[in-house]
Each structure stands twice: as structure tokens, then as C-alpha cells.
Structure 1
Amino acid sequence: MEATISMLLELVKPGETVIVEYETSYVPELILKLVADYTKENNVPFVIDDYFDSLYTLLAHYDIHDLDVDIGHSYVLKVGGRNEVGGTVKHVKFHPDPRVLLMNYNENFLPSIGTETPAINLVLGFESALYFVRDIRDFYRLLLGLQRYVGNKRRKAFYILHSEFFANLPRYILPELRRIATSLWTVKSYPAGISVSVLKSPDMGLLGRQFNIDIGGVVSGER
């Protein structure tokens, strides 16, 4: 089914946590562009969780391809890394102990979102943080912290995760992340755009649906 990013994002309910899985491709760059344009044009708060300079890397790819993406209106929660990019940037000190990391994150998250229109919260590079999880207890501490944000109607969260990355992590990690998410999408790129398949959703009518979003005009600056 042909769709637009507006249509897709508006199918997601406030409070949802969506896992967006992709294989090696430019899917994260395309999603960033689509979401940045949508939030700016519709005056929707835009929060980016930037783990270990993931956002900087995506923007570097845009520069190499001589393309533009405007994220000057974004509120960036920078977890680790050194390169500051985006609009308002707040540093969240990374710590390998999930309890400390979550405390640091919580202090900065609430001021980043408004009280009326739910923010679009794009999470980039989160899978890199999982390499620092020392044992199964630490993982479940981290998972519990993530669960506490599920249902927070002040945001719609989208975790952009490289599915191949999890081959080097304990097998229980990805299924548990999928379990606590309210929705699960898989995204593939093709020459004219991206294809989004819905594998899990609170809306039973969306299960198994596929949405194709043309990105040709968006990337070139046309509408």
C-alpha cells in the first residue's frame, strides 16, 4: 500500500514504543530525513536519543551524498560520544551500570518533551549500548527502565535497530526488546523508497500490512 510518513506516524498511538528493525542499508538516514521533515512541517516536538555519535554518522553520510536534512528544531539527548549535532543538545553521561545510566537519562528526558503534542522520539544507536551490558541481571535492569516509558503519552518512541547487530549478543536480548515494544516494524529500502512491514501492533487491523513510502521527492527536496 502506498503511504506517506505522516500517515504512518499518525497510526502510532501516544505512549507507544515501536521497534524498527532493518538490515544493512541507508534506512536510518531515510527515516531521519522523513521524520525531521514531518516534525518541522507539523510543529511536532522532535527528540533524538543519540548513542555514541550515531546521529553525527548519519549526517556525515548526508554530506557525502550532498544531501540536506534539517534537525535544527530537534532536542538531542546525547548518550556518550563527542560530536554535538542537532538543535538543543543535552549530554547524558554514559555509565555501564544500567541503574546509573537510567538515572542520568531520566534527569534529561522529561524536560525534552512538551505537555500537549506528543513528541516523536527517535532512538539511534541504542544497540551499541547493549555491548556494555555485563550480565543477564544488568540487562533486565535496563529492560525494566525501558518498560517504564512504555505508555508515556507524552511521546511516541521509535527505536531504530540494526537486526544483524544482535547476532553477536546473547540470544534473549532481541526477543525481550520485541516483547516490551507495543509495535514491531521491519523496514527495507528499494530504489524509490522504503517498505515498512507491521509485525506487531495494538491495532489488529495493521498486522501483516505493508506500507511503501516514496522518498525520491523527499530526498531531492521536492514534494
Structure 2
Amino acid sequence: MVEQGFEFIFSQLRAGETILIEYTSVSSPEILLYVLEEYCKQHDIPMIIDDMADTLPEFLIRLDLIGLPIEGFKDIPVIKIGGHRDEGNVIGRIEIEKYSLNLQYYDLIYERVVPPKMVYNPVLGIHKLFLINSIKEYGGGIRLLRNISKYVGNKTRIALYFIHKDLTQTKFPELLYLFEEIATSVMQWERSGSTYKLKVVKSANNNILEKIATINFEDIKKM
């Protein structure tokens, strides 16, 4: 794989993409969300966050504890899907069972706030919905993936699904493989010591296929 910077990789993402970001239990995905938020702020790119089962509050608590500023997240529009803890500018709420069965509720909220300019849309905690749906409804995970696939090609946004790979691969390996197939791009987020690495293993844009971006914590603090 060839070394490239985060800015290069983010700038090469295409409108309408559905991107799967796979992270491990110890790779601190909140760091990648922070880097992405800084990129969007610097380039005047709007962001909307889908927060499933209070994943965003968990991310922000960890960012705060390691000493990174979280003020930039306060005004970002957030669509809450399940959960009870509010962070960011919550502009709509959806019950989890409604999200898994019928996305018209999500569409009503999203279309009300989406700006004319294309947005980056991090989706946090999708693996939690797989867990919840496996308890609530047989075949719920497949139905959720089918709903997600309907948004591939929606050029109002670039959707970035953060997924806990360890958990999903153990509990729902078939869903992970199907998600990787549905996604237009797949990236892997890793940590070694205080260095973080983003690998592009599948991409709709050949310019970033097999590219890697790395950053250490000291450089993150200077952003």
C-alpha cells in the first residue's frame, strides 16, 4: 500500500458513496471522527451525524478525556436513532424499530435539514442496531442492510458507516461480508501505540485504492 495523507483521501471521496469504516476494540474510532470533523471545518463542508444508541456521546467523552477539544461538535446537526443522551444539535429522533423497518421517518428528518451543498454524513453505532435487531426481529439485520443499500448513490451526501469489526465479524459475519459488498468503499482504522492508520482496501475511486494515511497523537493535538 502507498502512503497518502488524510486530506488527499477525504478529498477523493465521491458524492453518493456509502463508505464502511471498520475499526477494532482498541483503535479509538473517535479519533478518526475528530480528524474528519477538522477536515470538514477547514474546507467548509457541512456535516450531519447519525447517532445510533448513544454512540456519539461515547465518542465525545473519550475525546474529552484524552484532551481533544469537542466544541466543534456542538452545532453539528445530529439525527438520533435510539438512545437518550443528547450531544450536538439534535434535529430529530427515530425509534430503533422504526428505523429498521421503515426509513420514511429518517427521510423526513434528513430532507428537512440537508443543505444544498453535499454533506459528509458519519453514521455511528450501526453494529448496535445489528445486535438489537437480532433480538427484536428475525432477519432484521438483512432488512437493515437492504435499507442502507437504497441510499447508495444519493449524491446529497457521502455516508461513512463506522462499524465495530471485531464484534460484527464474531456475531454476524455474513452481515459484515454483505455490508462490504454493498459499500462503494471499505476502509480499515488501526492504532499502533500513539500512531493511527487509515487503509483504503476498496474504493469507487482508483486514485485512493490501496492508499494509507497515518497520523500520530501529537499531530492530532495540533490540528
Query: 3-state DSSP class of the match of 2:180?
Result: helix
Distance 1:123 1:154, change over 3 A: same
Residue pairs, 1:32-47, within 5 angstroms: 32-47=33-48
Whether the aligned pair in 2 keeps the contact of 1:3 and 1:213 (CA below 8 Å) is no
RMSD: 2.0
**1:135 maps to what in 2?**
138
Secondary structure of residue in 1 paired with 2:178: helix
**Does the 8 Å CA contact 1:46/1:73 hold for their aligned counterparts?**
no
Alignment partner of 1:45: what SS? coil
Matched, 1:155 2:157: yes
Judged with a 3 Å threshold, the aligned counterparts in structure 2 of structure 1 residues 10 and 77 are, in CA distance, closer, same or farther, namely same
1:19 and 2:20 aligned: yes
Q: Give 2:143's aligned amino acid.
A: R
Gaps of 5+ in 1: none
Equivalences for residues 1-223 of structure 1 within 5 A: 1-69=2-70, 70-95=72-97, 98-100=100-102, 102-116=103-117, 118-133=118-133, 134-136=137-139, 138-218=140-220, 220=221, 222-223=222-223
Deviates more, 1:123-132 or 1:165-174: 165-174
Structure 1 stretch displaced more, 29-38 or 103-112? 103-112
Question: What code does the residue aligned with 1:47 have?
Answer: I
Structure 2: where are the runs of 5+ without partners?
none
Larger CA deviation: 83-92 vs 13-22: 83-92
Give the drift of 1:110. 1.8
TM-score (norm 1): 0.88
In 2, the alpha carbon distance for the partners of 1:120 and 1:204 equals 20
Please give the secondary structure, in 2, of the residue aligned with 1:82.
coil
Q: Percent identity?
A: 24
Q: Is the 8 A contact 1:187 1:195 kept in 2?
A: yes
Q: What amino acid is the match of 1:186?
A: Q
Please report how far the alpha carbon of residue 47 of structure 1 lies from its aligned counterpart in structure 2 after TM superposition. Answer: 0.8
- Report the CA distance between 1:4 and its aligned residue: 3.5
SS at match of 2:147: helix
Larger CA deviation: 195-204 vs 144-153: 195-204
Structure 1 residues 73 and 5: alpha-carbon distance in aligned structure 2, compared to 1, 3 A threshold: farther
Please state how far the C-alpha of 1:28 moved relative to its aligned partner.
1.3
Instruction: Give yes or no for contact 2:49–2:76 (8 Å, CA) kept in 1.
Output: yes
Deviates more, 1:54-63 or 1:13-22: 54-63
> Aligned to 1:166, what secondary structure does the other structure show?
helix
> What CA distance in whole angstroms lies between the structure 1 residues aligned with 2:95 and 2:113?
16
Q: TM-score, normalised by structure 2?
A: 0.88
One-letter amino acid of the counterpart of residue 110, structure 1: E
Name the amino acid aligned to 1:42.
H
Cα separation, 2, equivalents of 1:170 and 1:72: 34
Report the Cα distance in structure 2 between the residues aligned to 1:167 and 1:153, rounded to whole angstroms: 29
Aligned residues: 218
State the shift of 1:2 in Å: 4.7
